[in-house]
A and B are shown apart, each in its own frame.
Chain A
Amino acid sequence: MKKGETFIHPYIPNSVPETKRRMLEEVGAQSIEDFYADIPDNLRLHRKLDLPEPHTSEFELKKHVDSTLAKNITAAEYTSFLGAGCYQHHVPAVCDEINQRSEFLTAYAGEPYDDHGRFQALFEYTSLMGELLNMDVVNVPTYDGYQAAATAIRMAARITGRSEALVCRNINPGKLSKIRDYCQHEVDIIMVAYDNKTGLVDLQDLKEHISGETAAVYFENPAYLGQIETSGERISSLAHQNGAICITSLNPISLGVLKPPADYGADIACGDIQPLGMHMQYGGGQAGFIATRDEEKYVMEYPSRLFGIAPTIVEGEYGFGDVAYERTSFAIREKGKEWVGTAAALWGITAGVYLSLMGPAGMQEIGTGIMTRARYAMHELNHIDGVQIPFIDTPHFMEFVINFDGTGKTTADINKALLDYEIFAGVDLSLEYPDLGQSALYCFTEVHNRASIDRLVHALKEIVKK
């Protein structure tokens, strides 16, 4: 910036020249350059940064950003049947109300005194999740469901002292790549097949791969391709017989109607809470959870913060703090378990609000509603010529695979064509799962009604005819 140029901006109160001058005088400096004396000249940037001209007025800024965002078409304008890890649900207004409050939105790392509200809200989130999952320990959220799964596997390796993890192939390939990358130093990921008819874990193949080196058996419920795993009990028994830990990754919005993994023997439950009150935000609403029993050997392996309730010096007053803080990297740097940092706390608070609003009845109703819409869609779509539902006999939760091989068209073409009907079609699976041919993964939630599903069916019927 040229000497003598003034730049006053609403975000920079002391940019007022008189204030600057006064402050410089008070500290005995000639100019602000004095403060950069330690930076060698050859490292100084002797020109302006190459950035576009700013919109310093709020009105112009808003116009600029709004006009840029106007180029988006949203799932509120079109009908979307996309899922695959990010889900469209109704976000109750109170959820937005709470996570917009500046008190929560702009807080960070205050103490359990000045930030008591944050601690209590997050403790309540973990408590509500605990009821949903039937487990006593739940972490303060990590980044997302991928991280939760990868960390769960490493926790199992640390607890058992073993170095192999069995993962069923019916997993999101992106998630698998994250798990492989994250675990590569400590754990070998060994793939277990899924049954071609049901899409569920192939128990025989699992038996063949499990051994005394297995730290963890990991499976998802529902699976990436949407099927509800019914052999949870058998899988966890097999794991336990071999001294391994059973990890289940699940969708929390299903737990109003589906059994929580703890009830069929899972030792660690994990997943993503985005469905519980977070807008999709182009994938920016993700947050991961990890839950276990309240046993010291499990608790001590969490890298995340764990908030516990504690008494204060005043009788009857609730306070909160970190449980076993010593195990985290905040306390002991590289001696800590993995690491902990800024992740997704605000989404944890939001999920707590969501679960408080929904209550047991709401969770039952939404789970039932989702499964009913998916089932309805499955039947209707099955009647389209050339369209098949490969796993139609397996119970599904909210997503399922549709196969278009019989239509002679590629999924990509069909998806492009559906855009003309203002429909965002299900995820194209043909590259990730070549065995499934030209397929797609469609998702149905409570935001869909009969009319919108019928519109999809109608559109597809027309497209396959062409």
Chain B
Amino acid sequence: MGYYLAGFPEKSVREFTRLIRFSNVTAVNKVKLGFIVNPVAGIGGRVGLKGSDGSDIHLKALALGAVPRAGVRAAQALRKLELLKDSILVLTYPGEMGENIAASIGFDVKVLGAIKQGNTRATDTINAARIMLELDCDLILFAGGDGTARDIYNTVGQMVPVLGIPAGVKIHSAAFARNPSSAGEIAHQFLTSSQPSIRDAEVMDIDEALYREGTLSSRLYGYLRVPFIKRYLQGVKTAISPGEITALVDIASEVVISMKPDLLYLLAPGTTTRAVTTMLALEKTLLGVDVIKNRELLLSDANESQLLELLETQDGKIIVTPIGGQGFLFGRGNQQISPHVIRKIGTDNIRIISIPEKIFALQGQPLLVDTGDTSLDEELSGFKRVITGSGESIVYRVST
């Protein structure tokens, strides 16, 4: 089973869509479902501790009487797949990291690796994911938080579809379902569909140690390939639809067509901005800011001082897209576009692009800005135009 990663200028939209589908299990073979429960996730919050990535915090939390919650939520999700047990082989880690739950529901379970019960660590998650990748899992379903998502991403990258069951205190990544039930439903549909739908979803992470010192710094970490659900009624799909590819092409062409000569275009990180570079047959750094001029790549992964230097002598525009499940425009992965850079370019020269689905997913919550400069944040707030396609835009609220 292979994947085709982005790169569609030569191919039609439809071919591209076909390429990112992959053939599913036949009736003969069982589906291989990787199942990882991070039992340390979600402990801290209840007892007032934020996040639980450092092992000593975890022990502190247990000492305070916090109860591991990840297991309960993982079970809720896995139960949704119970009716498929005869055609699924669950690959998992021992005991509390997944075996207990999967076996109790009645799945056919293959246990990989070994752990120290009651004292599991990030390395266990990483090892589990690595083995699942090697064994060619069809999907990895995990219960955990942003930290767990980060660990799995580091291990499998985009080579296996992954779906998160939220069980952490804070979830900033978009690689999770809304709740355990929903995660189970999505996994169910994904595993039984002849045309599963997957898309890129941001993995975010906050530096825990810094956070406890009082400094909030989060960043875009990478993109996992995540299944999403199609809902049927008169062929009706939800707001989250497979028309995403078409939407990306649509937006990218709108941006490209409007690019003026000799202007600098600062492309912030994000899947939507990446569509712009793909349309120009250029490479986009996954997590960095790239500068385009006259439809050519001028500078890759620029930092703040490089951007400021360029802007000394040239005018430009910022092209930015919401990051993560919270809808941050600035402050969560594009810190290179600092307040200085924004002021230099001018707040009028910011173009926000997004597929409509990302806006709907905000459920009415505003897009957010957090540049670190509160007065700039105020200027950036209000009603802003969001480009959602060729000749299509939305007016949406941006807030601090």
Q: Do any CB atoms of chain A lie under 8 A from CB atoms of chain B in the complex?
A: yes
- What 0/1 pattern do residues 313 to 355 of A give for CB contact below 8 A with B? 0000000011111100001101100000000000000000000
Q: Give chain B's interface secondary structure class.
A: loop
Q: Does B243 contact A (CB under 8 A)?
A: yes
Q: Which residues of B sit under 8 angstroms from A112, Cβ to Cβ?
A: 234
B100-139 at interface with A (beta carbon < 8 Å): none
Contacts of A111 in B (CB 8 A): 233-234
Residues of chain B in range 227-247 having any CB-CB distance to chain A below 8 Å: 232-237, 241-243, 246-247
Query: In the complex, are the beta carbons of A331 and B237 less than 8 A apart?
Result: yes
Residues of the B chain whose Cβ atoms lie less than 8 Å from the Cβ of A325: 234-237
The 8 Å CB contact of B246, one of A322, A334, A335, is A335
On chain B, the residues within 8 Å of A109 by CB distance are 234
Please tell me the number of chain B residues within 8 Å of chain A, measured between CB atoms.
Answer: 17
- Considering the chains assembled together, what is the distance between the CA atoms of A334 and B356 in angstroms? 11
A417 at the interface (CB under 8 A from B): no
Contact indicator B243/A323 (Cβ below 8 Å): no
Task: List residues of chain A with CB within 8 A of the CB of B250.
Answer: 335
Cβ < 8 Å to A, chain B residues 191-240: 232-237
Interface readout for B331-374 with A: 1 if CB under 8 Å, 0 if not?
Answer: 00000000000000000000000001000000000000000000
Q: Mark A110-143, 1 if CB is under 8 A from B, else 0.
A: 0110000000000000000000000000000000
Do B234 and A326 touch (CB < 8 A)? no
A300-B234 contact given A326-B243, A335-B243, A335-B246, CB 8 Å threshold: no
Docked pose: A285 CA to B233 CA in angstroms: 30
Residue A5, interface by CB 8 Å: no
A residues 283-297 near B (Cβ < 8 Å) are: 296-297
Known A-B contacts A296-B14, A300-B14; A332 and B241 likewise in contact (beta carbons under 8 Å)? yes
A331 to B233, CA, bound (A): 11
Partner of A326, one of B233, B242, B389, B392: B242
Give the contacting residue for A332; candidates B14, B235, B243; CB below 8 A.
Answer: B243
Complex Cα gap A258–B389 (Å): 45
- Give the most central of B235, B243, B247, B250: most A CB within 10 Å: B235
Most chain A Cβ neighbours within 10 Å, of B236, B247, B250, B389: B236
| B residues near A323, Cβ cutoff 8 Å | 235
Contact of A334 among B14, B237, B389 (CB under 8 A): B389
Chain A residues with Cβ under 8 A from B234's Cβ? 109, 111-112, 321-322, 325
| Chain B residue contacts of A321, Cβ below 8 A | 232, 234-235
Kindly report which residue of chain B lies nearest to residue A332, judged by CB atoms: B243
Give min CB distance, A164 to chain B, whole Å: 21
Considering the complex, give the chain A residue whose CB is closest to the CB of B357: A332
What residues of B have a CB within 8 angstroms of the CB of A324 in the complex? Answer: 235
Closest to A113 in B: B233
Q: Are A326 and B14 in contact (CB under 8 A)?
A: no
A219 to B243, CA, bound (A): 34
The answer to whether A331 and B236 touch across the interface, beta carbons within 8 angstroms, is yes
CA distance A407 to B283 in the complex (A): 78
Q: B392: which of A296, A300, A331, A334 is its contact (CB, 8 Å)?
A: A334
Bound form: Cα–Cα A323–B391 in Å? 26
Question: What's the least CB distance linking A293 to chain B, in Å?
Answer: 16
CA distance A297 to B15 in the complex (A): 11
* Distance of A326 Cα from B232 Cα, bound (Å): 11
Question: What's the least CB distance linking B334 to chain A, in Å?
Answer: 27
Q: How far is the CB of B65 from chain A (nearest CB, A)?
A: 48
Contact of A322 with B235 at beta-carbon distance under 8 Å, contacts A331-B243, A335-B246, A335-B250 already known? yes
Nearest A residue (CB) for B355: A335
A335 to B241 CA separation, bound complex (whole angstroms): 12
Kindly list chain B residues whose C-beta atoms are within 8 Å of the C-beta of A331. Answer: 235-237, 241, 243
Docked complex Cα distance between A111 and B246 (Å): 27
A300-B14, A326-B243 known; A335+B236 contact, CB < 8 A: no
Q: Which residues of chain B are near A332, meaning CB under 8 Å?
A: 241, 243, 356
With a cutoff of 8 Å between Cβ atoms, the chain B residues found around residue A300 in the complex are 14
A324 and B246 CA atoms in complex are apart in Å by: 14
Of all chain A residues, the one with the shortest Cβ separation from B234 is A322
Interface centre among B232, B234, B242 (most CB of A within 10 A): B234
Distance in angstroms from B230 CB to nearest chain A CB is 10
Q: How far is the CA of A434 from the CA of B14 in the complex (A)?
A: 49
Cβ contact within 8 Å between B247 and A335: yes
Closest Cβ of chain B: how far from A349's Cβ, in Å?
A: 18
User: For the complex, what is the distance from the CA of A453 to the CA of B392, rounded to whole Å?
Assistant: 58
In the complex the two chains form, what is the Cα distance from A297 to B14 in whole Å? Answer: 9
| Cα–Cα, bound, A339→B262 (Å) | 39
Instruction: Name the residue on B nearest A321 (C-beta).
Output: B235
Contacts of B233 in A (CB 8 A): 111
Q: Which of A33-78 contact B (CB under 8 A)?
A: none
Tell me which residues across on chain A come within 8 A of B389, comparing CB atoms.
Answer: 334-335
Q: Fill in one digit per residue for A190-211: 1 if any B CB lies within 8 Å of its CB, else 0.
A: 0000000000000000000000
**A331 and B240 alpha carbons, distance in the complex (Å):** 11
Q: Is the CB of A326 within 8 A of B237?
A: yes
**Chain A contacts for B237, CB-based, 8 A:** 325-326, 331
Q: Which of A263-303 contact B (CB under 8 A)?
A: 296-297, 300
- Residues on B with C-beta less than 8 A from A296 are 14
Q: Considering residues A297, A331, A332, which has the most beta carbons from chain B within 10 angstroms of its beta carbon?
A: A332
A328 to chain B, nearest CB (A): 9
How far is it, in angstroms, between the C-alpha of A334 and the C-alpha of B254 when the chains are bound? 15
Chain A residues with CB below 8 A from B232, complex form = 321
The residue in chain A whose Cβ has the minimal distance to the Cβ of B18 is A296
The residues of A that contact B391 with a CB separation of less than 8 Å are: 334
How distant is the Cα of A334 from the Cα of B250 in the complex, in angstroms?
A: 12
Minimum CB–CB distance from B396 to chain A (whole Å) comes to 15
Shortest B310–chain A CB gap in Å is: 35
Which of B14, B233, B242 has the most chain A CB within a 10 Å cutoff? Answer: B233
Please encode chain B, from 240 to 267, with 1 for each CB lying within 8 Å of some chain A CB and 0 for all others. Answer: 0111001100100000000000000000
User: What 3 A-B pairs come out closest when comparing CB atoms?
Assistant: A325-B235, A322-B235, A326-B243
A contacts, CB < 8 Å to B: 109, 111-112, 296-297, 300, 321-326, 331-332, 334-335
**A326-B242, A331-B237, A334-B392 given; 18 more Cβ-contact pairs under 8 Å:** A109-B234, A111-B233, A111-B234, A112-B234, A296-B14, A297-B14, A321-B234, A322-B235, A325-B234, A325-B236, A326-B235, A326-B237, A326-B243, A332-B243, A334-B391, A335-B246, A335-B389, A335-B392
- Would you mind naming 18 contact pairs between A and B with Cβ atoms under 8 Å apart? A109-B234, A111-B233, A297-B14, A321-B235, A322-B234, A325-B234, A325-B236, A326-B237, A326-B242, A331-B235, A331-B241, A332-B356, A334-B389, A334-B391, A335-B246, A335-B247, A335-B250, A335-B389
